[in-house]
Amino acid sequence: MKLVDSSKIGYFFLPEEERKHFKQPLDVLYKSESEILALISHLKEDKSIPKIITVGDVCTQTLIDHSIVPDLAIIDNYVQRKKSSLVDLSHFTVLQASNPAGTITLEAWETIRQAVKIDDNKIIIKITGEEDLLVLPVISETPYNSKVLYGQPNEGLVSVTVTHKIKTKIQSLIQKMVKINENYNR
């Protein structure tokens, strides 16, 4: 199912020379299995978290495996550039959007914006392309004090508590991208 007209024009492109700014974890990096399990335990217990959102196939399935179904999950059916069908979709209403590698399409951003507003269903957005940079619009659109989780390749799991400071950091990262006001090639 699509919430957004896929002909929505425009995208942000990440130039090669700016990629170094996107390699550092945005908040707390959990490296060991015991740290990740402690984080999951905290997520289960803290009922004050407005939304729990995951970006990435492994991160999403890890939470599901530990009895947490994220309010919103974003996957691309790839794990470290290899095709995967890791995530159990049966827990979710499935939406779709396109987002080529190295971009944030306005179609994907608008799908995230609309999905974050849905409170009565668990939503998963299946991305045709790559989901890595979509953590930026997720944080931009997510209510304060929510938790956004994503994998840091070969390092661990990053947990971002959405605050004004983090949203400001995300805006500065997005400003390093180039906005293209035309349709992207699929």
The 10s digit of each residue's pLDDT in 127-173 is 999 999 999 999 999 999 999 999 998 899 999 999 999 999 999 99
For 89, half-sphere exposure in the C-beta direction (CA atoms, 13 angstrom radius) is: 13
- Measure the CA–CA gap between 137 and 39, rounded to whole angstroms: 23
Structure confidence by residue, pLDDT tens digits, 7-40: 456 899 999 899 888 889 999 999 999 999 999 9
- The Cα 165–Cα 161 span in angstroms is 10
CA–CA–CA angle 103, 141, 83 (5° rounding): 45
Q: Are 151 and 59 in contact (CB under 8 A)?
A: yes
Q: Are 142 and 148 in contact (CB under 8 A)?
A: yes
More confident residue, 80 or 54: 54
Going by C-alpha positions, the residue among 19, 22, 35 that lies closest to residue 159 is 35
Instruction: Please tell me the pTM assigned to this model.
Output: 0.91
